[in-house]
């Protein structure tokens, strides 16, 4: 399997299935783009596990396949799979640590079950293990190191994504919200579609998004600690700001969210910050 073919496959996969991250890749130095797409293609393959299986055990089998695949990469015997081949070359080129890949895979086990996060602390740990680890790997690919900023971005982008995707996950029988936030309002998976729950859900979403905005401000103040070459990863914060504005226009109700609203301003902000290496 030719490396160029594997990397091209990953680029297409990310462009079609993770367009937000793909846009940030386009602002990365050209020499890193293939490697970033290989990393994000791996993340997509692992993150989509719940939606591709009919029961948790099958999801565990799929995640184990990826654990074994990562193990084999580090043993020097990568599988004949497009994403695995490109990821193997990426790991070799950038000396990426195995434990971060293991963290991402292990964290995704939570997705397979219908359990709620007990509280915001548990949600934070999940996002650090999954999205935070992914961000750290992306930064390492570009020769940088900014663990604290990577983890903070994981909280920002992770919560933004979970909130936006509430309707999708609810349709799959999963509610990605901390029990400590929804229980006082009497919100549950069973009654979330009821009209009287809408204003309660909006209050919960507003509480989460308020914290995201504070985290974005903190991250912006950390800009000087982040190598310029790595700042394209942090353009996710620019996108998060835009999505939060769109969500606010929908009354902080993800069931009323129209993400086509604000597309032009979102692209403008992304391009402006990307060209100026800001976020």
The verdict on residue 22 lying in a domain is yes
DSSP assignment of 191-256 equals TTTSGGGHHHHHHHHHHHHHHHHHHHHHHHHTGGGS-GGGGGGGHHHHHHHHHHHHHHHTTT-GGG
Instruction: Identify the domain boundary among 65, 92, 113.
Output: 113
Please indicate, yes or no, whether residues 36 and 156 belong to a single structural domain of this protein: no
Domain membership of residue 9 (yes or no) is yes
pLDDT (average), residues 93-122: 96
Helix axis angle for 82-94 and 56-74, nearest 10°, is: 40
Is 214 within a domain?
A: yes
**Rounded to an integer, what distance in angstroms lies between the CA atom of residue 69 and that of residue 41?**
14
Q: How far apart are CA 12 and CA 237, in angstroms?
A: 23
Q: Are residues 82 and 156 in the same domain?
A: no
Judge if 24 and 105 occupy the same domain: yes
> 61-83 pLDDT, tens per residue?
999 999 999 999 999 999 999 99
In a domain, residue 137? The reply is: no
Q: What is the pLDDT of residue 4?
A: 75
Model pLDDT, residue 196: 92
Classify residue 139: in a domain, yes or no: no
Residues 70 and 187 in one domain: no
12 with 106, same domain: the answer is: yes
Predicted confidence (pLDDT) at residue 1 exceeds the cutoff of 70:
no
Answer yes or no: is pLDDT of 55 > 80.
yes
Structural domain count of the chain: 2
Task: Let me know whether 171 and 271 are in one domain.
Answer: yes
Domain boundary among 113, 137, 168: 113
For the packed helices 82-94 and 33-47, what is the interaxial angle rounded to 10 degrees?
Answer: 130
For residue 176, being part of any structural domain is answered with yes
In a domain, 132, yes or no: no
Could you tell me if residue 127 is inside a domain?
no
Closest CA relative to residue 155, chosen from 97, 240, 227? 240
77, 186: one domain: no
Mean residue pLDDT of the chain comes to 95
Question: Which pLDDT score, from 0 to 100, does residue 261 have?
Answer: 85
Least confident range from 51-60, 154-163, 205-214, 259-268: namely 259-268
Over residues 93-98, mean pLDDT: 97
Find the mean pLDDT for residues 269-279. Answer: 92
Expressed as residue numbers, the domain containing 220 is 146-279
Do residues 96 and 177 share a domain?
no
> pLDDT (tens digit, 9 = 90+) per residue, 137-176?
999 999 988 899 999 999 999 999 999 999 999 999 999 9
Query: pTM for the whole thing?
Result: 0.95
Contacts of 72 (CB under 8 A, 6+ apart): 78, 79
pLDDT at 174: 93
Are residue 152 and residue 260 in the same domain, yes or no? yes
Q: What pLDDT sits at residue 225?
A: 86
In terms of domains, do 103 and 190 share one? no
Q: Are residues 24 and 108 in the same domain?
A: yes
- Within 8 A by CB and 6+ apart from 115, the residues are none
Last residue of a domain, one of 96, 113, 130: 113
The pLDDT tens digits for 201-224 are 999 999 999 999 999 999 999 988
Say if residue 234's pLDDT is above 70.
Answer: yes
Residue 3's CATH number: 1.10.600.10
pLDDT at 3 over 80: no
Same domain, 151 and 109: no
């Amino acid at each position: 399997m030719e490396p160029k073919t594997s990397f091209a496959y990953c680029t297409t996969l990310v462009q079609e299935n993770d367009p937000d991250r793909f846009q940030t890749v386009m602002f990365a130095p050209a020499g890193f783009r293939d490697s970033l797409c290989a990393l994000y293609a791996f993340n997509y393959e692992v993150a989509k596990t719940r939606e591709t299986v009919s029961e948790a055990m099958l999801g565990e089998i799929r995640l184990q396949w990826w654990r074994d695949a990562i193990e084999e990469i580090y043993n020097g015997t990568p599988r004949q799979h497009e994403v695995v081949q490109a990821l193997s070359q990426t790991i070799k080129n950038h000396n990426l640590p195995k434990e971060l890949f293991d963290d991402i895979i292990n964290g995704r086990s939570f997705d397979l079950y219908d359990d709620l996060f007990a509280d915001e602390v548990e949600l934070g740990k999940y996002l650090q293990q999954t999205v935070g680890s992914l961000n750290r790997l992306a930064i390492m690919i570009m020769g940088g190191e900014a663990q604290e900023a990577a983890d903070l971005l994981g909280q920002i982008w992770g919560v933004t994504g979970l909130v936006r995707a509430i309707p999708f996950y609810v349709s799959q029988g999963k509610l990605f919200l901390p029990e400590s936030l929804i229980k006082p309002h009497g919100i549950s998976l069973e009654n979330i579609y009821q009209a009287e729950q809408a204003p309660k859900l909006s209050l919960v979403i507003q509480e989460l998004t308020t914290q995201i905005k504070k985290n974005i401000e903190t991250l912006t103040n950390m800009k000087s600690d982040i190598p310029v070459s790595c700042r394209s990863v942090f353009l996710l914060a620019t996108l998060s700001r835009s999505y939060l504005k769109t969500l606010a226009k929908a009354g902080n109700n993800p069931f009323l969210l129209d993400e086509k609203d604000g597309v032009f301003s979102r692209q403008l902000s992304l391009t402006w910050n990307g060209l100026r290496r800001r976020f």
